Chains A and B, each alone.
Chain A
Amino acid sequence: MAFDLREQLDGRRVGFFTDTSICIGCKACEVACKEWNAVPDDGMEFTGMSYDNTAGLGADTWRHVAFVEQRRPLGHQEPGVGDMDFRWLMASDVCKHCTHAACLDVCPTGSLFRTEFGTVVVQEDVCNGCGYCVPACPFGVIGKRESSGTAAKCTMCYDRLGAGQEPACAKTCPTDSIQFGDLDELRERAERRLAQLHEAGTTSARLYGHDTGDGVGGTGAFFLLLDEPEVYGLPPDPVVTTRDLPAMWRHVGVAALGLLAGVAALTWKGRRR
C-alpha cells in the first residue's frame, strides 16, 4: 500500500534530525513541547532510571529524553570515573513521522492524516478513540489520553509549521541537538556529522531512521545514536505493522474470487440441473 510520498508532497517533506551526541539531557524539548501543545503533565513518579522520570513517549509525553549510564568508553573522552570506562548517553525521542505510517493506515476515521509537510498528525476532533493506532505503531509512540479519550502524539507542531515557525522542541534546544528542516538537507547534514564523529574516534555513532529502505521506509524524525537502538529503547528493525496488509488483501481478494468462482460454478451447476 505504499505510495510515493515525495510525489505527493512536491519535495516539501520536513523532519527532525536529533543528534544525540550533543544532547545535554536538559529536557527543554519536553517542556517546550508541553507548553506549546498544552499537553498535561504525565504524573510525578520517581522512576530511579537515571535522570529519566518521564519513562517513555505516550499520549502525555511527546518528547522524551532517555538517560543511559554505561560502563563503556565514549570515543576520545577520558571519563575519569574510577578505573573503568564510563559514559552517560542522552537522547531525545519523538514520533518518527514514518514514511510508511501504520497508525495512519489503520485509522478508520481519518483522524490521522498525512499533512502537506509530510508529517503525520492526529485530528482530535475526528478521533473516536478506537485506539487501533496505539498497537499499530512499531515504536510505541502514540497513546490514548485518559482525560479526552482520544489518541495523542507529536504533531511536529503542525500549527507552527503553517505559520512558518519551527517546532517548539527544535526552537528551544540549547545545543541544537534537535534540528528541524528540509528532510533531504537534514539527511545530508547527518551524514556529514556521522563522518566527523567516526573520524574523531566515536566509532559507535550511527544513524537511525535514516535508511529509506528500512521497514518503515525511513523516518521523518531520525537520529544520530551512539549505541545500538535497543539501548535507547528503540526497536532495532522497525517494520510498519501494516506491511503485509496489501498481501493480505491480495490473498483475501484471491480467496474471495475463488469463493465467488466456486459459488458461481455451483450456482451455474445448479441451474443446469
Chain B
Amino acid sequence: MDLAWPLLRQLTGADRTARGPAAKSARTETLKARTATADRVVKSVCPYCAVGCGQNVYVRDEKVIQIEGDPDSPISLGRLCPKGAASLQLTTGPGRMHKALYRPPGGADWQEIDLATAMDMIADRIIATRRATWEQEKDGRRTSRTMGIASLGGATLDNEENYLIKKLLTALGVVQIENQARVCHSSTVVGLGTSFGRGGATTFMQDLQHADCIVIQGSNFAECHPVGFQWVMEAKARGAVVIHVDPRFTRTSALADLHVPIRAGSDVAFLGAIINHVLENELYFHEYVLNYTNAATILREDFRDAEDLDGLFSGFAEESRTYDTDSWQYEGMSTVAASGDRDEDFDRREGRTPPGRPEVQGSAGMPLDGVPERDETLRHPRCVLQVLRRHFARYTPEMVERVCGVPRHLFEQVCRHLTENSGPDKTSEFVYAVGWTQHSDGSQFIRTASILQLLLGNIGRPGGGIQALRGHASIQGSSDIPTLFNLLPGYIPMPHAHENERLRDFLLADAPHKGFWANMPAYLISLLKAWWGDSAQPDNDFRFGWLPRLTGSHSTYDTVLAQLEGTCKGYILLGENPAVGSANAKMQRLGMANLDWLVVRDFSLIESATWWKDGPEIETGELKTEDIRTEVFFLPAASHTEKNGSFTNTNRLLQWHHQAVEPQGDARSDLWFMYHLGRIIREKLAGSTDPMDAPVLDLTWDYPTEGETEEPSAEAVLAEINGWDERGRPLPGYHALKDDGSTACGCWIYCGVYADGVNQAARRKPASEQNWISAEWAWAWPANRRILYNRASAKPDGTPWSERKRLVWWDAEAQRWTGYDVPDFEADKSPGYRPPPGAQGVEALSGIDPFIMQADGKGWLFAPNGVVDGPLPTHYEPQDSPVANPLYGRQRSPVRKVYPHEHNRYQPSGDEPGSSVYPYVVTTYRLTEHFTAGGMSRFTPYLSELQPEMFCEVSPALAAERGLVHGDWATIITARNAIEARVLVTDRIPSLRLNGRVLHQIGLPFHFGPNGLVTGDAANELSSISLDPNSHIQEVKALSADIRPGRRPRGPALPELVRSYQRRAGIDARTGTEV
C-alpha cells in the first residue's frame, strides 16, 4: 500500500530509516523524463562544426524541450561535444533575437522595423544599387554585372539556401558572392583537387578506426572536432600510433602518443623532409607509386626547379609576380588550351594575378592533351620521381631542426612510425584543418601531405587518406554549391570576360577532354536549364551569356578593398561575422562604414551588426556614429531546428535536418529570405524591357511555399539541385546528364541525392543495422562513395593489396568492381583495359587509373597545372616572420598576394632591419568551448562560462623575458593593431630552439569580440590581408608580433601605439611587399 504520509510509510514499510522510498515526495513520484513525454522526436544534425553529428530534437506543445545526440548516427553514435550539447540553449535561449531592426544613415541607435517593410526596402536598395552600378562591359569585354553589391555567408546555412543565394545573386549580376569556405578551406580545394582530382577529404570519419598510424598536423582534432576524435581513440584502442605535430601541446596532444612541437608556418619543411627520407631510403610503395601516380611521367627539358633557381621555378615573371606554367608541363603534352591562355593574357594586361583559376580543381583535373611519356624504370632524370628526389634533397633532418625547431630524434620517430605503418598490409592517415590552410602558401601545405601520402600508397585505402576537418556545418556544401565568386555549382568555373565568348568556346577551353570532366558540357548545360528553364535553348547558348563575368579576383578580401574604394556599396551578411572572423578586422569594419547599405542576418547582434555604434573605432575616435552613412538592416535568422534542409559534412555527406518547430517572431530561414527577396525584386521589375533585367525575370523561381510564413519548400529546391529529365522525372545520377538541354540539374555532383524522388539525404538506417561504411545513412557525393579513389585499394590486377586492407576489388567472374564501399570507378571497366589510341573522355582512362577526375588518371606528385605558385611545394616563410628562410634566398612566396594599404601594413621579416620589433611568432586557434567568430557561443551562457575571457598563451621563458604575469593582462602588437588578453603562462606552448636561437611563440584564440556575454579583443585585429595566390585564403596561422605586460591603451592612444611600433620598425607602404 502506498501511504501518503512519509512518516506512515516509514513506520509501516521496510524503509525504517526513511532514507529511501519512504522519503519520496509526491513530486518525485511523478517525475518523468521530458524525453519520454515529448510529443515527437525530430531527426536533425548539429549546426556547429562539420563532423555532422546526429541530433534528436524533442518537441512538446510545439516547443523544443531537449536536443541530444542521435545514437543511430554512424558518425557520432549519439555523442555531442559541449557546443552540440548546448544546441537547446543556442536555439531557445536568451541569445536569440526575434525582431527585425533598422538603423538609418547617421542614426545613433536601432529602430524596430516591420519585417515586410524591411524586405521591401532591401529589394529597393538592391534594384537601385544594381541600376546605378551596372557594368555591361569592361575594357570592351562584356561583363554583364554589378560590382556594387556583395554577399558573404553560407557555410552555416543549408545547401538549399546556398543554392538560392547563388542562383538569385548570379541572375542579378552579382559576382562578389563569398562565404567562410574562402576563409577556412579554399586552399584545401586547390591542394587536394590538384593532387587527386577532387577538392574534398579523401575519406570519412569512421574509417579513422582502421588506421595504423594517425598524424594530426595543422589540426587540434580533439578540441575542434571532439566527436570525430572518438574514431582516433578507437584506432588508438586498436593499437594505432597517434602523432600530433603542433606548436602547442593541446587537448589533442594530451591523448597522442607523440607530440612534436613545431614552429607555426614551417610544415612544408617538416613534411618535405619526410618525403626526402622516404625517397632517399627507398621506402615508398613502389607498385602503387609506379602505377597510380605520375612518378614515371617525364617532364619537359626546359623545366627548372626551385633547386636550380634558389627558390623559384622556371617561368617566373618578376613584374606581374606570376608564373608562366608552360615549362612545367609533361613532355609531349600540349599546355592549357586557348581560353586559359586568353584568361591569363587578360589578367596580365590588367596587372592582376590570375583570378583563382586553380579552384577549378574543386572536383576537376586540369585540361591535358596528348599522351604523357613515361619511364617505367623511374630512372629517367626528368621523370617526376627523380625531379622530386632532387627537389626535396635539401629538406634534411638538420634543416628540420633549423627551420621548424623540431629536434632530430622526434623527427626520426615520426618518419619511423609513418613508414612502418604504410604498405600493403598497413595504412596511415593524415588529419589536418586550418593550421595548414590559412597561410600565404596554404595550398602547398596540403600538396606536401598529398605527395607524401601518394608515395606511401595511402590514398584510396581503408585507414589511409587525408582527412580535411572543416569547421562549419555545411562549409563543404557551400563549396560544392558555391557561394564563392569563382565557381558555379559542382566546381564548374565561373566564366571570365572575353570578347564574344560563346558557350562552345568556354567548354572547349575549360573542359578537359579526358576523365570525367570531359562531360562538363552536360553538367553546365543542365545547370543553365535548371536556372533559366524554357528560356535556355540551344540557339541562345542556353543563356550562357546571362552569367556575369569575372575580371580578376573578386574574393571577400578584394571586396573589402572595393568597399573602401567605394565601388562596392551594398553588402549582405548571412551568418558570418567578418568584424571578428576575417583577417584584419579593422579593415572589415572600415569597409562596412563606407557602404550605402548593409544587411545582417544572424541569431544575435554580432559585432558586424553593431560596429557603427559600439565598435573599436568608435572608442578610438577613428569613426563617429553620426558620420557613418551606412543603413543597416538586422534580420533575425531561423535556427536549424526551425527549418528543413541539408548540411554537407566534412566528408561530403549530405544529411537532412527536419524542421521541428516554427521560428518565432521575425526569425526566418535564409531560404525564406532569398526566395521572397527574389520574388519581391521580380515583382518590382516585372514588365521591364531592359536587357539587364531579363536574367532575373526569366529565372525559374516558382518554389512552392507552405505555412503561415510562406516558407519555400526546401525539398523542392533539393529536387532541382538533383535535377530532372525532360519529363520531369528525378535523375538517378550524374551519368544521366545530357548536353542537349533535355536534362536540368542544379549541381551535378549532387545528382542522385533525390534519385527515385526520394530524399536520399534523409536516409537514417541506424548504424547498428549496417556495416561500418553505413552506405544507407544519408548520401555522399559523388554517387554515395565514402572513400574516394578506392580503386587504389586494389592492386593493378584488381585484387586487394592485402586481406587486412581489403575495400574494393575486381570480381573477375561477374566482371565488375565490388566491395564494401561503392567503387569510385566505372563498375565494369576491367583492370586490364587500356584505352585505344585517340580515346577521349572517360574512355581514355585505363583500368589502372584510380584518379578518375584527373585527365591522366594518376595521383599528381608533380602538378603541371592547377597550382600557380609552383608545381612542387617549397618552404617559404610566412608574410610576417622573425625567421630568415634558411632553405632559399627567397624569404616569402614570390607569388603571394599582398594588399598594401594604410591599415594593412606589413612587417620586416627575418634579417631585414626592424624585424626585431616584432620578435615573436603568433598563431591563432579555436577552443572547444567556442565557435568561430563567437556568434553561436558568446551569446550562449553554458558555453560562455567555460571560456569567459580572451587570453594569450605564453611559455614561462617568454613570460620571464617580457615580465608577463599569469592571470594578469598583456598587450600584443602588430603593424595593424594592438589587443589585450589575459596571460596564461604554460609549458604547453614551448619555446623552440632553432638555428642557434630561442624562438618564443604566442597562442591566441580568435573567438572573442566586444559583444555577447563574454567579451575580449579579436585576434584578427592583428592579422594582415596577405593571401595564398591559388585560393585567396588569408595568412592567420603564423604572424609575428611583440608582447608586453599590461592592458592596451584606450582611445586615440591605441592607434598611436601601433604607429609608434611602425616607426620603430621603419615600416612604410613598401615594407614586406617585395617579390
**Do A and B come from the same complex?**
yes
Instruction: Name A's B-contacting residues (CB within 8 A).
Output: 1, 3, 8, 22, 24-28, 30-32, 34-36, 40-46, 48, 50-51, 53-54, 69, 71, 76-82, 84, 86-90, 104-105, 110-116, 121, 123-126, 157-160, 162-163, 165, 168, 171-176
18 A-B pairs whose Cβ atoms sit less than 8 Å apart in the complex: A8-B15, A27-B946, A30-B946, A31-B82, A31-B943, A35-B85, A43-B945, A44-B948, A44-B1013, A48-B967, A77-B258, A110-B6, A110-B25, A113-B19, A124-B27, A165-B36, A168-B68, A171-B78
| Shortest Cβ distance from residue B3 to the other chain A in the assembled complex, whole angstroms | 14
A163-B32, A172-B68, A174-B79 given; A78·B410 CB < 8 A: yes
A26-B82, A69-B987, A81-B990 given; A174·B229 CB < 8 A: yes
| Shortest Cβ distance from residue A65 to the other chain B in the assembled complex, whole angstroms | 9
State whether A41 touches B222 (Cβ < 8 A).
no
B69 located at the interface, meaning its Cβ lies under 8 Å from any Cβ of chain A in the complex: yes
State whether B410 touches A46 (Cβ < 8 A).
no
What are the residues of chain B within 8 A of A116 when measuring CB–CB?
A: 20-21
List CB contacts (< 8 Å) of B45-84 with chain A.
Answer: 66-69, 78-84
B944 located at the interface, meaning its Cβ lies under 8 Å from any Cβ of chain A in the complex: yes
A22-B233, A32-B85 given; A125·B68 CB < 8 A: no
CA A159 – CA B36 in complex, angstroms? Answer: 9
State whether B260 touches A80 (Cβ < 8 A).
yes
| Shortest Cβ distance from residue B763 to the other chain A in the assembled complex, whole angstroms | 24
What are the residues of chain A within 8 A of B928 when measuring CB–CB?
A: 25-27
CA A109 – CA B446 in complex, angstroms? Answer: 65
State whether B249 touches A88 (Cβ < 8 A).
yes
State whether B68 touches A176 (Cβ < 8 A).
no
List CB contacts (< 8 Å) of B972-1027 with chain A.
Answer: 982, 984, 986-988, 990-991, 1013-1014
Q: Which of A24, A27, A36, A40 gathers most chain B CB within 10 Å? A: A24
CA A159 – CA B27 in complex, angstroms? Answer: 11
State whether A35 touches B66 (Cβ < 8 A).
yes
State whether A78 touches B251 (Cβ < 8 A).
no
B949 located at the interface, meaning its Cβ lies under 8 Å from any Cβ of chain A in the complex: yes
State whether A26 touches B230 (Cβ < 8 A).
no
State whether A48 touches B987 (Cβ < 8 A).
no
What are the residues of chain B within 8 A of A31 when measuring CB–CB?
A: 82-83, 85-86, 942-943, 946
State whether A114 touches B20 (Cβ < 8 A).
yes
State whether A84 touches B987 (Cβ < 8 A).
yes
| Shortest Cβ distance from residue A127 to the other chain B in the assembled complex, whole angstroms | 10
CA A30 – CA B86 in complex, angstroms? Answer: 10
Residue in B260, B948, B986 whose CB lies within 8 Å of A46? B948
Residue in B35, B257, B260, B949 whose CB lies within 8 Å of A160? B35
What are the residues of chain B within 8 A of A3 when measuring CB–CB?
A: 17
State whether A26 touches B223 (Cβ < 8 A).
yes
B1 located at the interface, meaning its Cβ lies under 8 Å from any Cβ of chain A in the complex: no
B783 located at the interface, meaning its Cβ lies under 8 Å from any Cβ of chain A in the complex: no
Q: Which of B31, B85, B258, B261 gathers most chain A CB within 10 Å? A: B85
A-B CB contacts (within 8 Å), total count: 222
Closest partner residue, chain B, to A74 (CB atom): B254
Given contacts A24-B229, A31-B83, A174-B227, 8 further A-B contacts (CB under 8 A): A35-B66, A44-B948, A44-B1014, A80-B253, A86-B249, A88-B988, A123-B24, A159-B32
| Shortest Cβ distance from residue A122 to the other chain B in the assembled complex, whole angstroms | 10
| Shortest Cβ distance from residue B96 to the other chain A in the assembled complex, whole angstroms | 16
CA A31 – CA B46 in complex, angstroms? Answer: 15
B679 located at the interface, meaning its Cβ lies under 8 Å from any Cβ of chain A in the complex: no
Closest partner residue, chain A, to B222 (CB atom): A24
Main secondary structure of the interface of A (DSSP, over half): loop
CA A46 – CA B968 in complex, angstroms? Answer: 11
State whether A90 touches B946 (Cβ < 8 A).
no
A32-B68, A125-B27, A174-B227 given; A81·B941 CB < 8 A: no
What are the residues of chain A within 8 A of B113 when measuring CB–CB?
A: none
State whether A81 touches B79 (Cβ < 8 A).
no
A35-B85, A88-B254 given; A41·B951 CB < 8 A: no
Q: Could you mark each residue 257-301 of chain B with 1 if its beta carbon is under 8 Å from any beta carbon of chain A, else 0?
A: 111110000000000000000000000000000000000000000
State whether A78 touches B413 (Cβ < 8 A).
yes
A27-B928, A31-B82 given; A80·B410 CB < 8 A: yes
B226 located at the interface, meaning its Cβ lies under 8 Å from any Cβ of chain A in the complex: yes
CA A30 – CA B36 in complex, angstroms? Answer: 22
What are the residues of chain A within 8 A of B17 when measuring CB–CB?
A: 1, 3
| Shortest Cβ distance from residue A39 to the other chain B in the assembled complex, whole angstroms | 9
State whether A82 touches B987 (Cβ < 8 A).
yes
State whether B986 touches A69 (Cβ < 8 A).
yes
State whether B80 touches A104 (Cβ < 8 A).
no
| Shortest Cβ distance from residue B815 to the other chain A in the assembled complex, whole angstroms | 44
State whether B19 touches A104 (Cβ < 8 A).
yes
What are the residues of chain B within 8 A of A157 when measuring CB–CB?
A: 33
A165-B35, A168-B68 given; A87·B20 CB < 8 A: no
CA A92 – CA B58 in complex, angstroms? Answer: 27
B320 located at the interface, meaning its Cβ lies under 8 Å from any Cβ of chain A in the complex: no
B89 located at the interface, meaning its Cβ lies under 8 Å from any Cβ of chain A in the complex: yes
CA A172 – CA B79 in complex, angstroms? Answer: 4
B256 located at the interface, meaning its Cβ lies under 8 Å from any Cβ of chain A in the complex: yes
State whether B226 touches A28 (Cβ < 8 A).
yes
State whether B230 touches A79 (Cβ < 8 A).
no
B623 located at the interface, meaning its Cβ lies under 8 Å from any Cβ of chain A in the complex: no
B337 located at the interface, meaning its Cβ lies under 8 Å from any Cβ of chain A in the complex: no
B742 located at the interface, meaning its Cβ lies under 8 Å from any Cβ of chain A in the complex: no
Q: Could you mark each residue 315-341 of chain B with 1 if its beta carbon is under 8 Å from any beta carbon of chain A, else 0?
A: 000000000000000000000000000
B255 located at the interface, meaning its Cβ lies under 8 Å from any Cβ of chain A in the complex: yes
State whether B20 touches A8 (Cβ < 8 A).
yes
CA A40 – CA B1013 in complex, angstroms? Answer: 14
What are the residues of chain A within 8 A of B947 when measuring CB–CB?
A: 51, 53
State whether A41 touches B226 (Cβ < 8 A).
no
What are the residues of chain B within 8 A of A158 when measuring CB–CB?
A: 28, 31
3 interchain residue pairs of minimum CB distance: A110-B23, A113-B23, A163-B33
B18 located at the interface, meaning its Cβ lies under 8 Å from any Cβ of chain A in the complex: yes
Closest partner residue, chain B, to A48 (CB atom): B967
Q: Which of A22, A31, A53, A123 gathers most chain B CB within 10 Å? A: A31
What are the residues of chain A within 8 A of B765 when measuring CB–CB?
A: none
State whether B948 touches A173 (Cβ < 8 A).
no
CA A113 – CA B6 in complex, angstroms? Answer: 12
B966 located at the interface, meaning its Cβ lies under 8 Å from any Cβ of chain A in the complex: yes
A53-B947, A168-B68 given; A35·B251 CB < 8 A: no
CA A143 – CA B229 in complex, angstroms? Answer: 34
CA A79 – CA B250 in complex, angstroms? Answer: 11
CA A48 – CA B986 in complex, angstroms? Answer: 10
CA A53 – CA B987 in complex, angstroms? Answer: 19
What are the residues of chain B within 8 A of A48 when measuring CB–CB?
A: 966-967, 982, 984
What are the residues of chain A within 8 A of B67 when measuring CB–CB?
A: 35
What are the residues of chain A within 8 A of B31 when measuring CB–CB?
A: 158-159, 162
What are the residues of chain B within 8 A of A123 when measuring CB–CB?
A: 23-25, 27-28
| Shortest Cβ distance from residue A226 to the other chain B in the assembled complex, whole angstroms | 11
Residue in B24, B230, B944, B946 whose CB lies within 8 Å of A176? B230
State whether B982 touches A172 (Cβ < 8 A).
no
State whether A78 touches B257 (Cβ < 8 A).
yes
What are the residues of chain A within 8 A of B773 when measuring CB–CB?
A: none
B929 located at the interface, meaning its Cβ lies under 8 Å from any Cβ of chain A in the complex: yes
State whether B85 touches A114 (Cβ < 8 A).
no
CA A263 – CA B990 in complex, angstroms? Answer: 77
What are the residues of chain B within 8 A of A174 when measuring CB–CB?
A: 79-81, 226-227, 229-230
What are the residues of chain B within 8 A of A104 when measuring CB–CB?
A: 19
State whether A163 touches B80 (Cβ < 8 A).
no
CA A87 – CA B256 in complex, angstroms? Answer: 11
| Shortest Cβ distance from residue A61 to the other chain B in the assembled complex, whole angstroms | 9
State whether A41 touches B942 (Cβ < 8 A).
yes
A35-B86, A44-B945, A172-B79 given; A80·B233 CB < 8 A: no
| Shortest Cβ distance from residue A137 to the other chain B in the assembled complex, whole angstroms | 15
| Shortest Cβ distance from residue B219 to the other chain A in the assembled complex, whole angstroms | 14
Closest partner residue, chain B, to A120 (CB atom): B19
State whether B25 touches A125 (Cβ < 8 A).
yes
| Shortest Cβ distance from residue B735 to the other chain A in the assembled complex, whole angstroms | 39
